[in-house]
Amino acid sequence: MMSDPNRMQDPTTQYPKAGPEYKQEQAPPGLETKMDPKPDDGSGSYKGSGRLAGRKAVVTGADSGIGRAVAIAYAREGADVVLTYLPEEEADAKEVVQQIEQAGRKAVAIPGDLKDEAFCESLIESAVKELGGIDILANVAGMQQYVEDIADLTTEQFDATFKTNVYALFWLCKAAIRHMPAGGAIINTSSIQAYSPSEILLDYATTKSAINTFSKALAQQVAPKGIRVNVVAPGPVWTPLQISGGQPQQVLPEFGAKTPLGRPGQPAEMAAAYVFLASQEASYVVGETLNANGGMPTP
C-alpha cells in the first residue's frame, strides 16, 4: 500500500477504503510486520529536502504506525534519530533502523517501557550521549484498548493508559527541555478522540484531551526559551494499535468510513505534519494542534 505524495491526486482515492481484509487480530502491542494490508510508512515514497539537516530527534513508538513514519521522514530530512519502543516490538524496530541508516543517518534503538519514569529519564540522557544533544522530541507512542462498559474498565488499565499517554509525556518533556537549545521543538500526539470521543475509548479519549491542554500550557511556558511545543491530532489511521485491542474486530471493515474522505488515514500522511512542526518553517507556530483527520470537524 503506497502512494506518491508529490503527485496531485484525489484524496478520497489516494488510498483504498477499509474492507473485510482489515478484520485481523493481534495481541497487544501488535506488530506491523504481521499486518496485511500493511500501513504505508512512507518508506517507498517519502522524499526529504534537508529541512531537518543536522537535527537530533527522539521519536517514541517509532517501531510502527505513525511513529515509524515520523522516524523515517525525520531521517530522510537529515536528522539522526533515537527510536524507542517496547521490547516485544523489536522485529518492527529493526526495519526502521534499517530505513534510517539507508537514509545516511544515525539510528539508536532503545527498547523500554514508557510507563517507567526512570526509563523516560534515561532515554533522554542516552539520546544526549549518543547524538550529542536533543532538539526534537516527537511523542507518538500511545496505549488504546477499547472497553464497552465503564464497569469493565479496570483501574489497572485506566492507570496504564494515563501512564503511557500522559505521564510519559510529562517525564519526557521535563527531561528533554533541560537539554534543548533555542530552536528546539516538541511535537505531541493528540487525536480526534479529544474532540469527538468514542464511548468505548473512555480512558484513551480522556488522555488525548489532556495532551492538548498540557501542550498548550507548556508551549506558553517554554516559548520564551525559544522552544516550540505543538500537537498533531490524527483521525482514524491504519496502524497496529487498531487491530490489537484498539477497536472491536467487527468495526474494522468500516474503519475510517465516517470521515468526509470516506477512508482511514495512513501513517505516511501524518509524517509531514510532524516534519513541518519540527522544522524552522514552523518558527511562528506555537501551542497549535494540527488536525490530520480526513475532514472531521474540530473546535
Distances in whole angstroms, Cα of residue 121 to Cα of each of 1, 74, 112 = 37, 22, 11
Residue 226 grid cell:
525559544
pLDDT per position as a tens digit, 159-187:
999 999 999 999 999 999 999 999 999 99
Residue 138 clears pLDDT 80, i.e. is over it: yes
Mean pLDDT confidence for 90-100: 98
Please pick, among 146, 204, 274, 284, the residue that the annotation labels catalytic: 204
pLDDT per position as a tens digit, 56-69:
999 999 999 999 99
What integer pLDDT is reported at residue 5 of this predicted model?
72
Vertex 96 angle, CA 89 and 2, to 5°: 110
pLDDT per position as a tens digit, 27-59:
999 999 999 999 999 999 999 999 999 999 999
Vertex 41 angle, CA 38 and 47, to 5°: 145
C-beta separation of 86 from 57 below 8 A:
no
Mean pLDDT confidence for 242-251: 97
What integer pLDDT is reported at residue 4 of this predicted model?
77
Distances in whole angstroms, Cα of residue 192 to Cα of each of 231, 236, 238 = 12, 8, 14
**Domain 32-292: which CATH class?**
alpha beta
CA gyration radius, the chain: 18
Q: What is the DSSP string of 18-67?
A: P-GGG-----TT--GGG-SSPP--STTT----STTTT-EEEEETTTSHHH
C-beta separation of 70 from 271 below 8 A:
yes
CA 262, 267, 273, 277: dihedral to nearest 10 degrees? 150
Residue 238 clears pLDDT 90, i.e. is over it: yes
Annotation marks residue 204 as catalytic = yes
Report pTM: 0.97
Residue type, 281: E
